[in-house]
Chains A and B, each alone.
Chain A
């Protein structure tokens, strides 16, 4: 009995302490102090799990605008946008959304969540990235989904790495490739779209059937493919993985100084990569629309753009943004695959279902 009560007291106290702990707000934000008697302004940025920015950039924006920026991460890119759509336009999750990519652009536009605003500096964005002429969504960064290959493996086997999608169905590349399921993975979807762009909506399934015959391995997500199935992870037996063009550079960056050159390379032939462009927009009915506009402007300044490569491992949208040194290993394809956002949106579900039917079952 005594012990039971002790036990109960402990958990009740933990709970009390916990309530206190959770009600504590982090005090890093240098917002306006109570002495000026205004309600501290708050800007809520809704985004996906991969969003990151530096302390320095965040502090700069907060100090310049006397605002506290609250970042809400709402799951992976697909889930975050779906949650924003579910919350609805009249009662949005926050003031601003970061992280709609071009494969989901039309879904976001159809939901009519964002107000048109052309940020300062937007004129300098290359035209190829401006997929929304009304600027309800503004491009902020881009990256290419490409095949990574294991340099050492191909050298040791004395085989040349593939250069195009067509190569992948050749017998010398049998049992070498792992791809992610497009129904659950963003690079997986990008790779499927690359194949559709290359072979056409009528014939792409033949390519996939040939891939299946060539013993393609499947993963639900990037993480499993990259860390569990690739040869360079030490766990798997696949030297070709659908990943990002910046992954080799990230390998060098995260090698604790051990690597001077990446262990992997990119397959960069025409149409082998798919370009993902990431957009941000201001919610209609945002509580703090003025501050949201300032944040949109801020995202196109050099302070924020310069942050993008090391924080999110994608490329800044603004030309002439200085890149960190290790980005010399982040190659870009000359001709990434192209598909219009409306075409993607009109067919995404159909293609995924067809793919599932042909490859999984």
Chain B
């Protein structure tokens, strides 16, 4: 038992050390600065929060919009998760890669696309006005909760879809078949057999989506108008513009506190619903489409899904082709031209290279550390839940607050990392790590212990047990995690501005630069660069997905 414990600590040592150095230390630094900046303890921030009902209303709005967004995202993503788990059809890999694209698109370009679809002069309104002969736009979504909910589903769909679909694909269909043989109808099989077995994965995905929605920033900022405010937005205003650090730090702690409550509730729930299950490799669980009914069902579902996810992206591509001379590729060619001879100009090829390099490092770091952490968490006799929660904290922490922490913490030798370019993938890894862990942990928990024990009894050493039992089962989940790490890094904006050396500009940063200035060409080029971001990402993700071809054969 002792020896096992020390192996335990060794496995967790690396990821925890990483977290301590790049999260807890800078976060403690900013808290110290905010609360002890003047030598004495200054809790005026908390006083301000508790004395003003405004903050309570912000907290309430933040919570309910996140809960509702999460629920709707799960409902929207379940049908597609089922289809991708149970059926084998052509174009599956491509379709799966496409669902990922929304997650990595910067809000600054998604917002105009949403507005072009749902805005007062958007496609939908114009069509309805023509159809029913109306004089004013019938759909008023902008600056309301509706467009925020839509955008949250749009962005986080892929998280639920991927995590649940992966778990579903490994569920043994025999269970359901047996129940049906015994006379249960389809809804009953789903509610009493499938859903309970899927719950761990659904909960894991929901928690992530909830935290993303709870700390939502860009969507609220651009689509919510100025009146709908989440805690994260309030913290940003307080820290970056009012520079009221005691208040910003207090608000950050409130945000973390509530996230921890949700994480705690999740852990309790997760422990109750998780049971070792009979996992099957996918070549057994999946089958081709047989009947016409099945084909119609799949096609209809796919069409709805892709329509919703891809329409805004399609609008964006359309806008990238719009130029002063009509439709054409001028915006794309113009990306390469440094017309103003600017010293801070960055060619799109360089931005793409920078983005890909950062994403590559992030994937490597996040997968390596995430696997170690996931193992440590599932093997820990006690405290596994605590570690689990610790790794989620970076997602719950306001980016601007942590960014200020970096400035204070890493400005002196031997930790003088200011302007260190490698901080970019480090920051991305902090955000990506919980997604890798969340993808892998549920699968690890569901491996039946007797499988491992049997292998051990037959003389396999621990490494071999890992290689032959655990790895084939978690392989898919690792790839899902790797894809998440990749897209988080590609789309990330906030942390990247931390250490923004112009020569290391990423694609999202370059897009923001273009949209910082007026003029048709800037708008067109921002859209062109967004289209390139989609293209490059889709290609890279499809490539990563290829890694799963033929998986399960060694099962």
B24 interfacial contact with A, CB 8 Å: no
Are A235 and B119 in contact (CB-based, < 8 A)?
yes
Q: Does A195 contact B (CB under 8 A)?
A: no
A22→B403 CA distance, assembly (Å): 21
In the bound complex, residues from chain B placing their C-beta under 8 Å from that of A222 are 516
Given contacts A218-B226, A311-B340, contact A251 B365 (CB under 8 A): no
The closest CB in chain A to the CB of B509 belongs to: A49
The contact of A14 among B122, B229, B361, B467, by CB within 8 Å, is B361
Q: Which of A8, A19, A82 contacts B240 (CB 8 A)?
A: A82
Interface residues of A in 245-283 (CB under 8 A from B): 247, 250-251, 253-259
Does the CB pair B519–A254 fall under 8 Å? yes
Chain B residues near A234 (CB-CB < 8 A): 121
Q: Mark B150-166, 1 if CB is under 8 A from A, else 0.
A: 00000000000000000
A18 on the interface (CB 8 Å rule)?
yes
Task: Tell me if A256 and B323 are in contact (CB < 8 A).
Answer: yes
Interface hits, B503-555 → A, CB 8 Å = 503-504, 512-513, 515-523, 544, 547-551, 554
| Residues 315 to 340 of chain B near chain A (Cβ within 8 Å) | 323-325, 330, 334, 338, 340
B482 at the interface (CB under 8 A from A): yes
B353 within 8 A of A: yes
Q: Are B516 and A237 interface neighbours, CB within 8 A?
A: no
B111 near A224: Cβ-Cβ < 8 Å: yes
The verdict on A11 contacting chain B, using a C-beta distance below 8 Å, is yes
Give bound CA distance, A71 to B346, whole Å.
13
Residues of A within 8 A of B295 (CB): none
Given the interface contacts A107-B243, A221-B221, A224-B111, does A258 sit within 8 Å of B360 by beta carbon? no
Q: Does B82 have its Cβ within 8 Å of any Cβ on chain A?
A: no
- A34 contacts partner chain B, Cβ-Cβ < 8 Å: no
- Which residues from A are CB-within-8-Å of B345? 55
8 A Cβ contacts from B462-491 to A: 467, 471-472, 475, 478-479, 482
Residue numbers in A under 8 Å from B324 (CB-CB): 255-259
B515, A227: Cβ atoms under 8 Å? Answer: yes
The interface residues of chain B lying within 8 Å CB-to-CB of A10 are 547
Query: Would you call A75 an interface residue if the criterion is a C-beta within 8 Å of the partner chain's C-beta atoms?
Result: yes
The docked-state distance in angstroms from the alpha carbon of A11 to that of B478 is: 12
**How many Å lie between the Cα of A227 and that of B511 in the bound state?**
14
Which residues on B sit within 8 Å (CB–CB) of A63? none
Does residue B342 face the partner (Cβ distance < 8 Å to A)?
A: yes
Give the shortest distance, in Å, between A133 (CB) and chain B (any CB): 25
B341 contacts partner chain A, Cβ-Cβ < 8 Å: yes
Interface residues on A, range: 35 or more
A93 at the interface (CB under 8 A from B): yes
Would you call B519 and A251 a contact (CB within 8 A)? yes
With known contacts A22-B357, A256-B521, A11–B482 Cβ distance under 8 A: yes
- Does B344 have its Cβ within 8 Å of any Cβ on chain A? yes
Q: What residues on A are CB-neighbors of B467 within 8 Å?
A: 1
Across-interface contacts of B548 in A (CB, < 8 A): 3
A21 in contact (CB, < 8 A): yes
- With beta carbons under 8 angstroms apart, the residue of A17, A70, A217, A258 that contacts B357 is A17
Q: Give the segment of B14-22, B179-187, B304-312, B418-426 that binds chain A.
A: B418-426
Is residue B253 within 8 Å, beta carbon to beta carbon, of the partner chain?
Answer: no
Contacts of A86 in B (CB 8 A): 33, 404, 407-408
Instruction: Tell me whether A219 is interfacial, beta carbon within 8 Å.
Output: yes
Segment of B84-92, B445-453, B494-502 engaged in the interface with chain A = B494-502
Residues of B within 8 A of A181 (CB): 226, 237
Query: Is A159 located at the chain interface by the 8 A CB criterion?
Result: no
Chain A residue with Cβ nearest B424: A22
Q: Looking at the complex, which one of A54, A217, A223 makes contact with B341 (CB distance below 8 Å)?
A: A54
CA distance A256 to B323 in the complex (A): 8
Q: Contacts A1-B467, A70-B501, A75-B500 given; 19 further ones with Cβ under 8 A?
A: A3-B547, A4-B478, A4-B547, A11-B364, A22-B357, A22-B422, A49-B516, A52-B340, A52-B343, A55-B345, A71-B344, A71-B501, A78-B241, A82-B243, A217-B225, A233-B523, A254-B521, A256-B334, A349-B244
11 chain-A/chain-B pairs, Cβ below 8 angstroms: A11-B367, A14-B360, A15-B364, A18-B425, A19-B422, A78-B243, A82-B243, A181-B237, A183-B237, A224-B111, A259-B324
- Give the 7 A-B residue pairs with the shortest CB-CB distance, closest first: A254-B519, A14-B360, A258-B324, A15-B364, A218-B226, A7-B547, A254-B521
Query: Which B residues fall within an 8 A CB radius of A?
Result: 33, 54, 108, 111-112, 115-116, 119-122, 143, 221-222, 224-227, 229, 233, 236-237, 239-244, 323-325, 330, 334, 338, 340-345, 353, 357-358, 360-361, 363-365, 367, 400, 403-404, 407-408, 411-412, 418-419, 421-422, 425, 467, 471-472, 475, 478-479, 482, 497, 500-504, 512-513, 515-523, 544, 547-551, 554
